[in-house]
């Protein structure tokens, strides 16, 4: 399976913490990717404030730690095994010819390697997701237009409402910070919540991707209520407390299909 760019960029940062400076040719050989791929990685890390480009190479920014904690790379590392299991299960619901929506979540991002060879169309506001399909011969990718949210490299803002009018989506795969019976799916970022709502509005089916840390919690901005959800895909059942299982059973009574991904 192709290594995701986030893993590679995190490895670049970890390497720079050990050596302070590295030349681009060394990075290319170390990660066995093209010269342009390394340049792309460094452009993104520089834009996020993690590194400084200097002649022939790159060094770590002095303030990398505080800035890096806010980026998608930090979120990407959280509960990675669970996210991969959820993503694999979610990808099994995608069929040839589908038009699918993927939000800017790291769990949706993990679906990409499982979809690379499918004849599908992907609509997303996540630049990272779009890049995953850049070399695919079968996947057509459409980006929601908008304002760049630098910490996540996602596109947000009022332009999404004009964009959404043009497309019908077979299935959307959405994640967020919290899922509970009372408030449904909720998130901590208003702008990202609006994009998720847009994808859901245009979708025939809505799949919610959450791990055990997000169930029976709530956040400030509601994305959708429980009755809007068709299916919730989660990590292994053994991770959940009895109280969380009770909440999930109540959600199931609302007509929502519950799927626990295998470890």
pLDDT at res. 130 = 94
pLDDT reported for residue 66: 37
* Burial (CB count <10 Å: 0-12, 13-18, 19+), residue 232: buried
- The mean pLDDT value for 65-94 works out to 72
Mean pLDDT of 25-38: 85
Average of pLDDT values for 134-151? Answer: 89
Side-chain-side CA neighbours of 112 within 13 Å: the count stands at: 30
What is the pLDDT, as a whole number, of residue 74? 56
**217 token code pair:** 């919690």
Q: What is the mean pLDDT of residues 159-187?
A: 93
pLDDT of residue 153: 83
62 has pLDDT over 80: no
Domains along the sequence of the chain with CATH: 5-73 (1.10.10.10), 78-260 (3.40.50.1360)
pLDDT at 73 over 80: no
Look at residue 8 in the predicted model and tell me its pLDDT: 81
Label residue 63 by pLDDT band (50, 70, 90). Answer: very low
pLDDT at 69 over 50: no
Burial zone of 74 (CB within 10 Å; 0-12 exposed, 13-18 middle, 19+ buried): middle
Q: Can you tell me the mean pLDDT for 195-200?
A: 96
Three-state SS annotation for 141-182: EEECCCEEECCCCEEECCHHHHHHCCCCEEEEEECCCEEECC
Structure tokens at 65: 């730690």
Over residues 105-116, the pLDDT tens digits come to: 999 999 999 999
Asked whether residue 159 carries a pLDDT value surpassing 80, the answer given is yes
Query: Taking the CA atoms of the chain, what radius of gyration do you get in angstroms?
Result: 19
Is the pLDDT score of 65 beyond 50?
no
């Amino acid at each position: 399976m192709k290594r995701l760019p986030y893993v590679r960029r995190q490895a670049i940062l970890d390497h720079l913490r050990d050596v302070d400076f590295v030349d681009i040719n060394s990075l290319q050989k170390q990660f066995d990717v093209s010269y342009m791929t390394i340049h792309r990685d460094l452009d993104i890390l520089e834009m996020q404030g993690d590194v400084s480009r200097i002649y022939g190479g790159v060094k770590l920014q002095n303030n990398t730690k505080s800035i890096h904690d806010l980026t998608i790379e930090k979120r990407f590392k959280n509960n990675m095994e669970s996210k991969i299991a959820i993503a694999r299960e979610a990808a099994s619901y995608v069929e040839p010819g589908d038009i699918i929506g993927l939000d800017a979540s790291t769990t949706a991002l993990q679906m990409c390697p499982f979809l690379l060879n499918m004849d599908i169309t992907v609509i997303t506001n996540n630049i990272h997701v779009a890049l995953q399909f850049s070399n695919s011969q079968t996947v057509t990718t459409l980006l929601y237009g908008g304002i760049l949210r630098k910490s996540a490299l996602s596109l947000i803002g009022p332009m999404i409402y004009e964009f959404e009018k043009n497309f019908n989506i077979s299935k959307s795969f959405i994640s967020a910070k919290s899922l509970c019976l009372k408030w449904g799916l909720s998130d901590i970022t208003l702008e990202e919540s609006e994009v998720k709502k847009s994808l859901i509005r245009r979708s025939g089916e809505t799949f919610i991707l959450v791990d055990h840390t997000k169930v029976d919690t709530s956040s400030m901005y509601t994305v959708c209520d429980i009755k809007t959800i068709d299916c919730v895909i989660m990590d292994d059942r053994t991770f959940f407390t009895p109280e969380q299982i009770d909440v999930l059973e109540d959600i199931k009574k609302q007509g929502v299909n519950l799927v626990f991904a295998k470890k």
